[in-house]
Chains A and B, each alone.
Chain A
Amino acid sequence: KAGVTQTPRYLIKTRGQQVTLSCSPISGHRSVSWYQQTPGQGLQFLFEYFSETQRNKGNFPGRFSGRQFSNSRSEMNVSTLELGDSALYLCASSSRTSGGMGSDTQYFGPGTRLTVL
């Protein structure tokens, strides 16, 4: 099976712009989670989607949003970009359908490195 793919891999934006990142999970996986990784804060959980519904959400402002399509592909959007949004954005998919979050192995994509100037 193909792994988790993320596009684009690299992105440069300026403050105030918005950005959309895409994640295609492993075939058959319906759970997709998004994470932000920065040198200062490390890895932080953004949100999880399952069957087109957001199931869990981390402590990020409303500028960070996402959605999931019927084919389980997911997009993450950040509006009104700030310098501090520069980070590696990772998505992960899992085959979990029930149970608490993280109750199944997470398969990570390569990430999208976003730079905000």
Chain B
Amino acid sequence: KNEVEQSPQNLTAQEGEFITINCSYSVGISALHWLQQHPGGGIVSLFMLSSGKKKHGRLIATINIQEKHSSLHITASHPRDSAVYICAVPNTGNQFYFGTGTSLTVIP
């Protein structure tokens, strides 16, 4: 049983397309994190949210606490957005659970 499910696992898009990555979780949480991992391993925290919606540049993250679901949107995608996007959920039992990641490739 996975506490965090992400979809899709792999995604290929043309430059400029609107992209959506989904995350569903089954545990009680204090907040949900979206992480970006580029080839080579470095991880960057994109968003931490516990309600509503956050926006940073072309990235938008939303969360629905009642439905236990979050989405990460990328508008006007660019090849530099190619990376693995990981949903991370720290549950109220102080454990950190991670989705398996979505590998995004944006083609010029």
Contacts and interface: CB of A to CB of B under 8 A. Distances in A.
Interface of A: 33, 35, 37, 42-45, 48, 55-56, 58, 88, 90, 92, 99-108, 110-111, 113
Interface stretch (B11-19, B55-63, B67-75, B89-97): B89-97
Interface in B12-44: 29-31, 33, 35, 41-44
A42 B41 contact: no
Given A43-B86, A44-B98, A111 B41 contact: yes
Given A33-B96, A42-B98, A102 B90 contact: yes
A4 to B, nearest CB: 10
Given A44-B98, A100-B30, A106-B45, 18 more contacts: A37-B41, A42-B100, A43-B86, A56-B96, A58-B96, A90-B43, A92-B43, A100-B92, A101-B96, A102-B90, A103-B30, A104-B48, A105-B33, A108-B35, A108-B42, A108-B44, A111-B41, A113-B41
Interface of B: 29-31, 33, 35, 41-45, 48, 86, 88-90, 92, 94-101
Contacts of B33: 102, 105-106
